[in-house]
Every structure is written in C-alpha cells, then in structure tokens.
Amino acid sequence: MLKMFLPNEHVQNVFQIRPADLKERGIKAIITDLDNTLVEWDRPNATPKLIEWFKSMQDEGILVTIVSNNNEKRVKAFADPLEIPFIFQARKPMGRAFRKAIKNMNVKKEEAVVIGDQLLTDVLGGNRNQFYTILVVPVAQTDGFITKFNRRVERRIMNFFKRKGLIQWEEEN
C-alpha cells in the first residue's frame, strides 16, 4: 500500500525537469500541480524563470495542464496570463481530473507525467491512475491549512521510505 505514495522520480524543483529528458522517455504532456510545485502557494503569478520553463516545454512540443485542488479564481488568475489550460477543484488524489487532463491534451497516460509536491494528492493520484510521477521539494516552507495536516502524514511516509533506502530526500532553503 505504501508503494502508492512512492514517486517514480524526485527532484529539487521543476527546473530540473528538462524537455529533452521527457521527450527521450516518450513524454508528450505534463500534468502539474500549482501551489508549492510551480510557485509558492501565496504567489499570484509565475516567476520569469518559470515562464521560461513553460516556454522551453512548449518549444519542444510538450503540452502542460495545471491540475489543482485550489479554487477557480486562484488557478485561473495564474494560468490565464500564461495561456495554460487548467483544471481547478480537481479533488486529487481522485482520478477524474487526471483523466480529463489527458483527454483534453489528446495523449495517452503513458505519454504524460504528473508533477507535484505532495505525496497524498499528486503522487498518490498519479500512481493510482498509472502515470509516471515526479515529486518536487515544496517551493515554500509554509502551507495552507489543509496542506499542513497532509505534510505531517507525508513526513512519516517519507521517513519510512528513507529508512528503507527507497528515496533520498533533502530539502533546500
């Protein structure tokens, strides 16, 4: 059961995920979380470095959809200026939003990766739906109310994975 929380890959941040590496593995699409994955949960807009990352994906023909449990106002305000499709109130780890994202991007699940900062939503949801999952270190050290609870549970799971040698995880900041 705990294996459902184990990401296929883990990186410090999204900038370590390069289009060439994704294409080499046959990946054509990214389903990404927003808050604390792409930017801090309380940052309204993309950073210049993130805008460049999105452009590098686009230039290589890799599609991106933001799939967030947050409300429409938050996700729309972030995604619309970037012209990135999004799904809000996704109810991750449930699978409906993931399936909708790949349908909208017209790709197979084997051609998509799920990127996120939470084991209980992003990784579990991606793994339950047979996606390749990439866990990133949260961008911010603070979280919204519900996420604070999730982080406590995640710490216990991560410590188990570390003890078993299944994951090496060092937070920067």
In the chain, the percentage of residues whose pLDDT exceeds 90 is 75
pLDDT at 150: 77
Residues in the chain: 173
pLDDT at 170: 58
Q: Express each pLDDT in 17-72 by its tens digit.
A: 999 999 999 999 999 999 999 999 889 899 999 999 999 999 999 999 999 999 99
User: Is the peptide bond prior to 93 cis by the omega test (within 30 degrees of 0)?
Assistant: yes
Mean pLDDT across 11-17: 96
Q: What is the pTM of this model?
A: 0.89
- Of 30, 20, 1, the C-alpha closest to 134 is 30
pLDDT at 167: 79
Task: Give the pair of three-digit tokens for residue 118.
Answer: 């939470």
In the chain, the percentage of residues whose pLDDT exceeds 70 is 93
Class of domain 2-163 (CATH, top level): alpha beta
94 has a pLDDT exceeding 90: yes
